[in-house]
Amino acid sequence: MSRSERIRRFYDELYKKYGPQGWWPGDSPLECIVGAILTQSTSWKNVEKAISNLKGSGLLTAEMLGLVTAEELAALVRPSGYYNQKALKIKNFISFLGADYGGSLERMFTEDKSVLREKLLSIKGIGPETADSILLYAGGMPVFVVDAYTWRVLSRHGIVPAETTYAEMQEVFTDSLDEDAGLFNEYHALIVRLGKEHCKKSNPVCEGCPLEFDPHFV
Ligand code: SF4
């Protein structure tokens, strides 16, 4: 099987086993963006607590996030960890949104995908995974999101070397799949599920794993 065939077969097997994952859990594009920033280095459960605090305080609008101080915001997002840095990152994003798109996410998402990606990456505290999560899950743009789970699966199956880059892993998928936001959304969510249930960091459970059929090295 070629690399592309393996990548497509992985998707089929994962989808067959787990079904649709219903990502991203957020009521609005802004909530997805804030969630994408807050989920850096923490679990989604902690993000939910922080988002619930923001909602309870009526702060989950671009206007209110622009008005609140970084200190007040940090206190509310505390459950997500690294709260001072994350509050600043949210403020940085909101400043960018105001300066470049008059505070309108609708306007922001009419931007060319590659141009917007570069702009997001230029915001302090927004790296490739967060930028791509914003583009895909908040903007519905066809951008493949790569994370530590993706690296684990691809490297254990010898599809990428252990020393690889975000861009190389992303290319593995974009070279093999149709440019389809729905497919990219589902595939990333399925990989996260796989990483949590089978392809764990220290003790991968290959037996019964949906990708057990493919040669792997653990
Ligand atoms: S077969 Fe093993 S290495 Fe491959 S994805 Fe499953 S748990 Fe990970």
Contact indicator for 79, 93 with CB cutoff of 8 Å: no
Superfamily of domain 29-138: Hypothetical protein; domain 2 (1.10.340.30)
Distance 213 CA to ligand 1 centre (A): 9
Give the pLDDT confidence of 186-199 residue by residue, as tens digits: 999 999 999 999 99
Ligand 1 contact, 154 CB (< 6 A): no
User: Atom 2 of ligand 1 has which residue's CA nearest to it?
Assistant: 206
89 to each of 120, 171, 174, 194, 212, how far by Cα in Å?
Answer: 11, 27, 28, 29, 39
Which residues lie closer than 8 Å to 119 by C-beta, 6 or more apart? 96, 100, 111
Give the pLDDT confidence of 100-146 residue by residue, as tens digits: 999 999 999 999 999 999 999 999 999 999 999 999 999 999 999 99
Peptide bond into 24 cis (omega under 30): yes
Contact indicator for 125, 90 with CB cutoff of 8 Å: no
List the domain boundaries for the chain.
3-22+145-197, 29-138
Ligand 1 nearest atom to the CA of residue 206, by list position: 2
Whole-model pTM over 0.85: yes
Ligand 1 contact, 9 CB (< 6 A): no
Distance 8 CA to ligand 1 centre (A): 16
